[in-house]
Structure 1
Amino acid sequence: MSLASYIGCNIELPINDDEYSDDSFYIGRCFAGDSELQNLKKYQFTNPYVYEVSSHWGIEISEYMNQETCAESKVKLLELCKRMNSYLEKGDYFELYSCWIGDETDKREGEITLQINNFDIEQIEIPEKTLVRFEK
């Protein structure tokens, strides 16, 4: 099984045309198919546009995970916020959700709201099945 991360937003984003990229982080498909994206749109997100954030492994920040993977997730999250900051207008937001492929319809285990440019990456925890709203 694979842990995948997804974003929901109110604007269309440029995505990679291919389903796989050698980049360590991009917006485009890696693990998910159409049914997974539709389930996320229906069960997890409040925004109409849903994208997989492909990075060969999902974004999860938790004290219970491998520290190397956790450190990689922090880098990915900061890059995601940087990119989304360039797309969003003041007052907009995007949502992030990570889960194992096949768990898209499961009940959320948590929700948090963060300011896109104002959080301490070393002080947050984002376990799987947590919906994170990033406000600009």
Structure 2
Amino acid sequence: MSMATYIGFNFPVEIQDDYTENEVDINYFFSVKENRQIVQAKHFTTPYVYEIETKGEPIWQMHNENKVYSPHNYEKAKRTFHHVCDFLKKFLPKGDYCEIYICWIGEEGEEHEKKLALLLDQLSVDEVEIVEKCLMMVRN
């Protein structure tokens, strides 16, 4: 089973099939169309749903338990989250937003357990805790 990090936009994204060295890529990695449709209907207000792939530690490892018991992994996940935020600052039009939802493949229809509203220009990463089944609205 795989953990998917879904991302929803208000505009379509051109999918690249080629491997890249980018820290953050938007594509379809683990999910099938039905998974994304469930996420869009259940959790998102945005019409276009994809997945985020990152090169570093998954952002869902950026939680308080790791902060205490595995600070090295927490710091790596925080670095990955910084890459995601930097990507979104450039990718999202000013004033627009995206939605991110993290869950195990097959659990898309379950209720989210945490909800965050984040502003990219006022973000204090140290105050953000990301866990599975976390729904985030990120505004540029």
Q: Percent identity?
A: 32
TM-score (norm 2): 0.82
Match of 1:7 in 2: 7
Match of 2:17 in 1: 17
Gaps of 5+ in 2: none
Cα 1:88/1:55, change in 2 over 3 Å:
closer
CA RMSD of the aligned region, Å? 2.1
Alignment of 1:5-84 (within 5 A): 5-18=5-18, 25-55=24-54, 58-60=58-60, 61-65=62-66, 66-84=70-88
Q: Distance in 2 between matches of 1:100 and 1:78?
A: 23
Gaps of 5+ in 1: none
TM-score (norm 1): 0.84
Q: Distance in 1 between matches of 2:43 and 2:15?
A: 21
Deviations 1:18-41 (A, max 9, x none): 5x6676531112211111111111
Q: Distance in 2 between matches of 1:69 and 1:105?
A: 29
Higher helix share: 2
Deviation at 1:58, TM superposition (A): 4.3
Deviation at 1:14, TM superposition (A): 3.1
1:58 and 1:98 in contact (8 A); partners too: no
Secondary structure of the equivalent of 2:116? strand
Q: Distance in 1 between matches of 2:33 and 2:13?
A: 17
Deviation at 1:13, TM superposition (A): 2.0
Cα 1:58/1:38, change in 2 over 3 Å:
farther
1:4 and 1:58 in contact (8 A); partners too: no
Deviation at 1:64, TM superposition (A): 2.2
Equivalenced residues, count = 135
Secondary structure of the equivalent of 1:8? strand
